[in-house]
Amino acid sequence: MSPPPPATPPAARPYRGAVVIGGTHGLGRALALGARERGLLTVAYGRTAASLDDTEDLLPRFLDLCDPHSVRTASVDVPRPCYVLWVAGAFLKKPLVETTEYEVEQLTRLLFTGPVLFLRRLLAGAEGPVHLITIASSSSWKRREQESLYCGLKAAQATFVRNLVPEMIAAHPENRVTLVNPGGLAVPDFHTGLALDFGAMMDPGRVAEIVWDIATAQRQAFTEVQILRSRAPGSEGTPEVSYGARAPQPPEEPAPTAAPHAPHH
């Protein structure tokens, strides 16, 4: 599927900065480094901010999305106008009945309520256009097993952002929103404890390049994009890009269609 056609609104003013919520590891780190390479003054928020070098154009800041106090008090003094990237995430594969109350609470804070509350603070102080880039997941619409909590939170993230678009356009006509649903990324720490073939998964650096290319070319108010990994022999893990939303898959595999019987002679 090709990109959506250009819309009539003018291109937004050049952005001065980038703010990456969850910018210290995995895809978030790759996106933060990509922002710096594009000449943007970049603020990278995360619990492991100390792992990034503090330079003139890359500013690590500690933020624990699971800690309400940290979400309320972390500085939102950022360069504007700016890109705001919501990337923070963690994975959980476990039946719901085996999931502890603490795990439910922490994952919900990390994937949804923490970023929403922090984003609320960032947007409240916006004095110019903001381009929100949200990294949700193909798990927001794909059929999964033992991942109900993770998938539900990713679906909530995607739905929240789609419905935030009218508010952002009302706040500033040049605001933009990009919703990205990526497939499996080669980030071993994200899939802790799982035996996966990371060689057949997507490179986060390559996916970050694709995201930045899409976002910087976007002129319409909202774009949704799927970045899924190829499973074709010889091309495993190659990113495949398509545009538009996907309908949620049913919880059960469709029944196989019986092959037609050969006619009798």
Q: Where are the domains of the chain?
A: 17-243
CA distance 103 to 109: 10
Task: Write down the pLDDT at residue 102.
Answer: 97
Q: Please, are residues 238 and 230 in contact by the beta-carbon 8 Å criterion?
A: yes
Task: Write down the pLDDT at residue 8.
Answer: 41
Full-model pTM: 0.88
Phi-psi region of 193 (alpha: psi -120 to 50; beta: other; left: phi over 0): left
| pLDDT tens-digit profile, the chain (265 residues) | 556 555 444 444 579 999 999 999 899 999 999 999 999 999 999 999 888 887 778 999 999 999 999 999 999 999 999 999 999 889 999 999 999 999 999 999 999 999 999 999 999 988 789 999 999 999 999 999 999 999 999 999 999 999 999 999 999 999 999 999 999 998 776 545 555 555 688 999 999 999 999 999 999 999 999 999 998 898 889 999 999 999 999 998 777 766 565 555 5
Instruction: Give the contacts of 259 (CB within 8 A, at least 6 positions apart).
Output: none
Q: How many CB atoms lie within 10 A of CB 237?
A: 19
Q: Tokens 């091309």 identify what position?
A: 235
Fold of 17-243: Rossmann fold (3.40.50)
Q: How many CB atoms lie within 10 A of CB 12?
A: 18
CA distance 263 to 265: 7
| Residues linked to residue 82 through DSSP beta bridges, in sequence order | 17, 130
| Residues linked to residue 42 through DSSP beta bridges, in sequence order | 18, 58
CA distance 178 to 3: 12
